[in-house]
Amino acid sequence: MAKRSILHMFDPMPNNSPFDVNMALDTGFDVLMPYSNVKLESIHGLTQDAIFSRSPAGIKRTGIFIGGRDIGLAMDMLNTAKQAMVPPFEISILADPSGAFTTAAALVACVEKQLKEKHGKQLKDCKGLVFGGTGPVGIATGVIASLAGADISLVDHMSFDTANDAAKEYNRRCKSTLTSSVAGSDAEKALLIANTDIVFCTAKAGVQVLSPEVMAQAKQLKVAGDVNAVPPAGIVGIGANDNGVILNEITGATGIGALAIGNIKYKLQHRLLKLILENEKPVYLDFRDAFSKAQELV
């Protein structure tokens, strides 16, 4: 009798994400096993329980999903689980805390496509800002874009130290070259955006981050992407379904909305879960793999 497929879902939060549960079930896993309040020190034991309870053939039908909201902790959990493998008892792992890796990968890939098609530019040619840059999606976006060669600054709306601490930590972890900024007022945002080629908006849903007055100063802007699907838009002039809408007739700046980005994010998470389910050899997937697959999808 064929072994049923099992996805063990490790989450340090009090509850696993219903979004991730739905996605995993729709991908085709037979059994989902959510674990909440999981500590980093528990990962090694949980992983070995998962691998040693099935034969080498059976563990090909076993996988691990790592959630939560802290992307640094998720990366540590993935590395710990990977170190717990004992060949030939090895299973695949996907880390996607708070959907940050797949959302950020989709956002950067969509912006990259617009840069190439509308402006003949690459990420490495550009200077960019991440508003909401100290949240999970913001940090992941900054890291992905930075590793692709862009000059990226994480922007916090209250504290330079908060942005600077995040930039330092993830530069150390990921070998990125992030810088940091603070912009709480329209005047501060206007100064930052005046010499910026790309803007990623990953701030709190339902809050307009970039007003008409600020966007009027974006003389160098080429592409802006906004992941906020709750009105009002995070960036004025970008609708949720927009995918390359013209924001400025003079500069040719274009915008990408939350649902256009979300469509790629949904397909991306599905594809990564499929890799866990169907791959003959174990794979260990994080934001790097998410971005590579997102580039294929766009």
Residue 294 located in a structural domain: no
Statement to judge: residues 135 and 64 lie in one domain: no
- With vertex at residue 171, the alpha carbon angle to CA 169 and CA 174, rounded to the nearest 5 degrees, is 105
What's the pTM value of the predicted model, to 2 decimals?
0.97
For residues 244 and 182, membership in a common domain is answered with yes
Please, which residues have CB within 8 angstroms of residue 87's CB and are 6 or more apart in sequence?
none
pLDDT in the model for residue 2: 75
**Is 76 inside a domain boundary?**
yes
3-state secondary structure of 32: strand
For residue 36, what is the domain's CATH number?
3.40.50.10280
Check whether residue 86 and residue 141 sit in a common domain. no
Give the model confidence (pLDDT) of 25-84 as tens digits. Answer: 999 999 999 999 999 999 999 999 999 998 887 888 999 999 999 999 999 999 999 999
User: Within this chain, do residues 191 and 256 fall inside the same structural domain, yes or no?
Assistant: yes
SS3 284: strand
Distance between CA atoms of residues 236 and 130, nearest Å: 16
Q: Specify whether 28 is located in the same domain as 120.
A: no
Any domain includes 287? no
Is residue 41, in this structure, part of any structural domain at all? Answer: yes
The residue from 245, 261, 277 where one domain ends is 261
The residues, any chain, with a CB within 8 Å of residue 217's CB and separated by 6 or more, are: 190, 191, 193, 194
CA distance 274 to 166: 32
Residues 21 and 73 occupy one common structural domain: yes
Residue 158 pLDDT more than 70? yes
In a shared domain, residues 106 and 91:
no
Structural domains in the chain (count): 2
Integer CA distances (angstroms), 192 to 53, 176, 184, 215, 219, in order:
55, 21, 11, 11, 11
Are residue 249 and residue 153 in the same domain, yes or no? yes
Complete edge-to-edge strand list for the sheet that includes strand 253-256: 179-182, 151-156, 127-131, 198-201, 223-226, 253-256, 243-248
Segments forming the whole domain that contains residue 66: 6-95
Q: What is the pLDDT of residues 73-83, one digit of tens each?
A: 999 999 999 99
Do residues 260 and 68 lie in contact, with contact meaning Cβ atoms separated by under 8 Å?
Answer: no
With a pLDDT cut of 90, the percent of the chain lying above it is 94
Q: Within 10 Å of residue 216's Cβ, how many Cβ atoms?
A: 12
Q: Provide, rounded to the nearest whole percent, the portion of the chain with pLDDT above 70.
A: 100
Q: Which of 43, 62, 95 is the last residue of a domain?
A: 95
Does residue 68 sit in the same domain as residue 146?
A: no
Helix and strand numbers (H, E) in the chain are 10, 12
CB 225 within 8 A of CB 247: no
Among 51, 77, 95, identify where a domain stops.
95
**Together in a domain, 58 and 73:** yes
Q: Which helix (H) or strand (E) holds 65?
A: strand 62-66
Q: What is the pLDDT of residue 1?
A: 60
pLDDT tens digits for 268-297? Answer: 999 999 999 999 899 999 999 999 999 999
pLDDT tens, 92-147? 999 999 999 999 999 999 999 999 999 999 999 999 999 999 999 999 999 999 99
Q: What CATH number did the domain enclosing 246 receive?
A: 3.40.50.720
Instruction: Kindly state whether residue 71 falls inside one of the protein's structural domains.
Output: yes
Same domain, 109 and 237: yes
Sign of the Cα torsion 200, 163, 286, 152 reads positive
Say what angle helices 43-52 and 71-83 make with each other, to 10 degrees: 40
Is 292 contained in some domain? no
Per-residue model confidence (pLDDT) at position 82 = 98
Identify whether 111 is part of a domain. yes
- Are 56 and 191 contained in the same domain? no
Q: How confident is the model at residue 3 (pLDDT cuts 50, 70, 90)?
A: confident
In this predicted model, what pLDDT tens digit does every residue of 232-254 receive, in sequence order?
999 999 999 999 999 998 889 99
Q: Would 231 be classed as within a structural domain?
A: yes
Q: Average pLDDT for residues 8-17, to the nearest whole number?
A: 97
